[in-house]
Amino acid sequence: MAGIRYRPEIDGLRALAVIPVVMFHLGFGLTGGYVGVDVFFVISGFLITGIICRGLEDETFSLAEFWERRIRRIFPALFVVVAATLAVGLWLLAPNELVELGESSVAQSLLLANIYFWRDIGYFAGPAEFKPLLHTWSLAVEEQFYLFFPLALYLLRRLSRKKLF
């Protein structure tokens, strides 16, 4: 995309953000996994806001093109992960766990995994280790951001022909 220059400091922040996430998942007792995810959200919001605002100011921004780029970037890998998880789940999971896996895969396909897993807490909820798509909660939050935030900025720009910032 024209006008976007490489920012090595952002790659550095991404590297620092991934460390607590990986350490948490490897079981090294580090509890900063959520902080790492939050840093990724901030970085994503910063970059996406810049792209959208530049496009709106230049009058070159298209919601359809923006969403198409996000779909092309995220969905192929997501499809592979969900399909592979379902295939392995058929082989390894008990029937009730397989039903939950199916529900969570449907929720992710509707961009609602975060809401599904948020509602799937409580005394009778199974342990996180038996929720193979639990990690998709953060992706659902990102997808919802990509869906609604650009639309909000686009509508604000259309309502006010003044500069956004």
Could you tell me which of 107, 163, 165 has the C-alpha nearest to residue 139? 107
Q: How many Cβ atoms sit within 10 Å of the Cβ of residue 40?
A: 17
Tokens at residue 56, please? Answer: 């709106």
Tokens at residue 33, please? Answer: 């996994």
Which residue has 């969570």 as its token pair? 104
What are phi and psi for residue 32, nearest 5 degrees?
-95, 20
pTM: 0.80
Return all residues near 153 (Cβ < 8 A) that are at least 6 apart: 49, 52, 53, 56, 164
Tens of pLDDT, residue by residue, the chain (165 residues): 455 788 889 889 888 888 888 888 788 877 766 788 888 889 989 989 999 999 998 989 999 999 999 999 999 999 999 999 999 999 999 998 899 999 999 999 999 999 999 998 776 777 777 789 998 998 999 999 999 999 999 998 888 766 555
Secondary structure (3-state) at 110: coil
